[in-house]
């Protein structure tokens, strides 16, 4: 019987490991669809940002109460995972509380911490469910935010309920185990005097007072199995869910933007065109590399000026045109909607929602993956992120105020995607609103966005002594 359980456990573990590896490969392939960009510079600063923003959850504390609640779940997630180590080893080796005899003095202390955290996670998950479905916090409501309709709302409910069930399984497993220990049943009794009752589960023991020994062992086994299988199933589920942020949040912050928020990324391929048009010496290669001090091209790219390498699209039409970090952003987004709640366009009823930009990007990536599955790995459909997912009306509503970028607890940048899509619409499709075209032509002809003569530019000085 014991060996049968062990075989089953190892098989479940192996199956989940195999499946999650496949998922990681698929997601990583999707992220790599994006354009290359070096995000490994300034390692010190990146590390510091990751420690503060990801590990320290700095931006979550904008609202201290929610910050503390989220921190409890986060700490629970990280620290309770230490207990998983013992559970897995017990499962593989067929042991029971393997570590208890070896670290007897600290064992109850550790389990008590796990139990306190488990209780905290359970309580916070209940509060979070209430915030979403009872108190109806506005940023979660599909009536107010169309991108939250159906699946995102279900996804959130599944995550919170699963975590509550896992914590209940963990706590009642400890309680039933304590009762078995008290009664001296089988190998459970061997830990009598070594393992005491635990801080939370001791109060759950009365629940099992009416169980006979067989029923109690059955419950203990079921709870143990439900807990660990639940965790494994949840790990698989996470790869399909917005909850992927628990893993990708960390690298996402590490690779996040370091430049000032107001700085728009340069397009070196255009710099070259403009320098040629203005008769200036060309100083930049299309790949962004600078020339050496003498203004000469590095030798490997000599001749590039005469025969420019094939220039891709200007701006972005689809996910392949975005940078890989934009795509990692999309997979890291947990749809909390702080960006959208801070967006001036969204607040005033425009269609733009920065959260939808991120969700659309991920949905588009998953549509492409679906295409790979059914039609082979080189399959390209004729859809695109622009138009099929994100409309001109949304893009045109953005004030580039960076409130969304500032609001994101894990440094996701929806604005960067919006601006790349705008570049495509304007430079590849000439699809700017008419008044923008007028502004462009004024700048081009009058050196100002309005129709004034450049020679009148200094007329204001005549009034300085009025």
Partner 1 sequence: MTTEKTYKVPTMADMAASGEEPEILFWVGCAGSFDDRYKRVTIAFVRILNHVGIKFAVLGPEEGCTGDPARRAGNEFLFQMQAMSNIQVLNGYNVKKIVTACPHCFNTLKNEYPELGGNYEVIHHSQFLQGLINEGRVRVKDGESFKGRRITFHDSCYLGRANKIYEAPREVLAALDADLVEMKRVRANGLCCGAGGGQYFKEPEPGKKDVNVERVEEALGTGADTIAVACPFCMTMMSDGVKNKNKEDSVRVYDISELIAQGQGL
Residue 65 in contact with partner 1, rule: CB under 8 A = no
| Cα 444 from Cα 447, distance rounded (Å) | 6
x/- track of binding to partner 1 for residues 419-458 (CB under 8 A): x--xxxxxx----xx-xx-xxx--xx--xxxx-x-xxxxx
Least distance in Å: CB of 50 to partner 1? 20
| Cα 453 from Cα 462, distance rounded (Å) | 16
CB-count exposure of residue 455 (10 Å: 0-12, 13-18, 19+): exposed
Q: Under rule CB under 8 A, which residues in 379-418 are in contact with partner 1?
A: 393, 396-403, 405-406
The smaller minimum CB distance to partner 1, of residues 307 and 463, is found at 463
Nearest to residue 49, comparing CAs of 58, 41, 40? 58
Nearest to residue 115, comparing CAs of 85, 83, 142, 144? 83
Least distance in Å: CB of 450 to partner 1? 6
Least distance in Å: CB of 428 to partner 1? 10
Binding segment (CB under 8 A) for partner 1, from list 68-76, 144-152, 186-194, 276-284 = 276-284
Q: Under rule CB under 8 A, which residues in 314-333 are in contact with partner 1?
A: 314-315
The smaller minimum CB distance to partner 1, of residues 382 and 444, is found at 444
Binding segment (CB under 8 A) for partner 1, from list 112-120, 143-151, 162-170, 264-272 = 264-272
Least distance in Å: CB of 39 to partner 1? 17
Least distance in Å: CB of 314 to partner 1? 7
By CB under 8 A, name the one of 165, 247, 270, 304 that touches partner 1.
270
Least distance in Å: CB of 424 to partner 1? 8
Q: Which residues are CB-contacts of 430 (< 8 A; sequence separation ≥ 6)?
A: none
Distance set, CA 97 to CA 90, 178, 236 (Å): 7, 12, 26
* Residue 192 Ramachandran class (φ > 0 left, ψ -120 to 50 alpha, else beta): beta
Residue 264 in contact with partner 1, rule: CB under 8 A = yes
| Cα 448 from Cα 113, distance rounded (Å) | 65
Nearest to residue 395, comparing CAs of 422, 413, 420? 422
The smaller minimum CB distance to partner 1, of residues 241 and 384, is found at 384
Residue 184 in contact with partner 1, rule: CB under 8 A = no
Binding segment (CB under 8 A) for partner 1, from list 38-46, 108-116, 223-231, 270-278 = 270-278
Q: Under rule CB under 8 A, which residues in 222-261 are in contact with partner 1?
A: 259-261
Residue 352 in contact with partner 1, rule: CB under 8 A = yes
DSSP 28-97: HHHHTTSBP----S-HHHHHHHIIIIIIS-GGGGGSHHHHHHHHHHHHHHHHHHHHHHHHHHHHHHT-SS
The smaller minimum CB distance to partner 1, of residues 24 and 311, is found at 311
What radius of gyration do the chain's Cα atoms show?
A: 29
The smaller minimum CB distance to partner 1, of residues 157 and 280, is found at 280
Least distance in Å: CB of 122 to partner 1? 32
Count of residues of this chain found to bind partner 1 when the rule CB under 8 A is applied? 72
Residue 294 in contact with partner 1, rule: CB under 8 A = no
Residue 349 in contact with partner 1, rule: CB under 8 A = yes
What the block records as the tokens of 384 is 């695109």
| Cα 355 from Cα 149, distance rounded (Å) | 13
Least distance in Å: CB of 96 to partner 1? 52
Residue 64 in contact with partner 1, rule: CB under 8 A = no
Residue 61 in contact with partner 1, rule: CB under 8 A = no
Nearest-5° Cα angle at 218, 213 to 224: 125
By CB under 8 A, name the one of 47, 82, 274, 302 that touches partner 1.
274
Residue 278 in contact with partner 1, rule: CB under 8 A = yes
Give the three-class secondary structure for 383: coil
Least distance in Å: CB of 141 to partner 1? 16
Long-range contacts of the stretch 142-147 (C-beta < 8 A, 24+)? 145/337, 145/340, 145/353, 145/355, 145/356, 146/353, 146/356, 147/335, 147/353, 147/355, 147/356, 147/359, 147/360
DSSP state of 451: S
The smaller minimum CB distance to partner 1, of residues 231 and 352, is found at 352
Say if CB 10 and CB 90 are below 8 A apart. no
């Amino acid at each position: 019987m014991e060996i049968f359980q062990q075989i089953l456990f190892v098989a479940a573990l192996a199956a989940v490991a195999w499946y999650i590896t496949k998922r990681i490969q698929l997601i990583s392939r999707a992220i790599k669809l994006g354009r290359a960009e070096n995000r490994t510079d300034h390692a010190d600063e990146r590390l510091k940002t990751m420690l503060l923003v990801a590990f320290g959850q700095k931006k979550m504390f904008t609202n201290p109460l929610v910050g503390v609640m989220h921190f409890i779940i986060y700490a629970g997630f990280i620290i309770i995972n230490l207990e998983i180590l013992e559970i897995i080893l017990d499962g593989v080796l067929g042991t029971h509380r393997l570590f208890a005899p070896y670290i007897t003095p600290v064992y109850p202390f550790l389990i008590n911490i796990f139990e306190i955290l488990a209780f905290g996670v359970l309580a916070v998950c209940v509060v979070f469910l209430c915030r979403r479905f009872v108190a109806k916090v506005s940023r979660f409501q599909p009536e107010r935010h169309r991108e939250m309709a159906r699946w995102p709302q279900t996804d959130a409910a599944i995550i919170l309920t699963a975590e509550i069930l896992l914590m209940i399984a963990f706590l009642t497993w400890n309680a039933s185990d304590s009762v078995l220990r008290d009664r001296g049943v089988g190998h459970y009794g061997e830990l009598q005097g070594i393992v005491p009752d635990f801080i939370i589960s001791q109060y759950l023991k009365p629940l099992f007072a009416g169980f006979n020994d067989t029923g109690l062992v059955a419950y203990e086994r079921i709870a143990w199995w439900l807990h660990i299988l639940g965790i494994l199933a949840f790990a698989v589920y996470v790869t399909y869910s917005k909850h992927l942020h628990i893993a990708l949040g960390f690298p996402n912050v590490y690779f996040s933007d370091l430049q000032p928020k107001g700085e728009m990324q340069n397009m070196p391929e255009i710099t070259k065109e403009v320098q040629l048009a203005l008769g200036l010496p060309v100083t930049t290669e299309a790949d962004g590399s600078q020339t050496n001090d003498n203004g000469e091209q590095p030798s490997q790219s000599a001749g590039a000026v005469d025969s420019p390498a094939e220039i891709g699209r200007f701006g972005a039409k689809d996910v392949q045109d975005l940078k890989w970090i934009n795509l990692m952003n999309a997979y890291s987004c947990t749809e909390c909607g702080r960006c959208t709640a801070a967006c001036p366009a969204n607040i005033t009823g425009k269609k733009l929602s920065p959260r939808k930009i991120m969700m659309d990007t991920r949905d588009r990536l998953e549509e492409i993956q679906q295409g790979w599955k059914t039609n082979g790995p080189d399959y390209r459909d004729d859809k695109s992120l622009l138009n099929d997912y994100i409309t001109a009306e949304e893009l045109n509503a953005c004030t580039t105020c960076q409130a969304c970028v500032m609001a994101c607890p894990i440094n996701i940048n929806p604005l960067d995607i919006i601006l790349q899509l705008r570049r495509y619409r304007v430079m590849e499709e000439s699809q700017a609103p008419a008044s923008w075209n007028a502004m462009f032509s004024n700048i081009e002809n009058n050196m100002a966005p309005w129709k004034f003569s450049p020679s009148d530019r200094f007329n204001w000085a005549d009034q300085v002594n009025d």
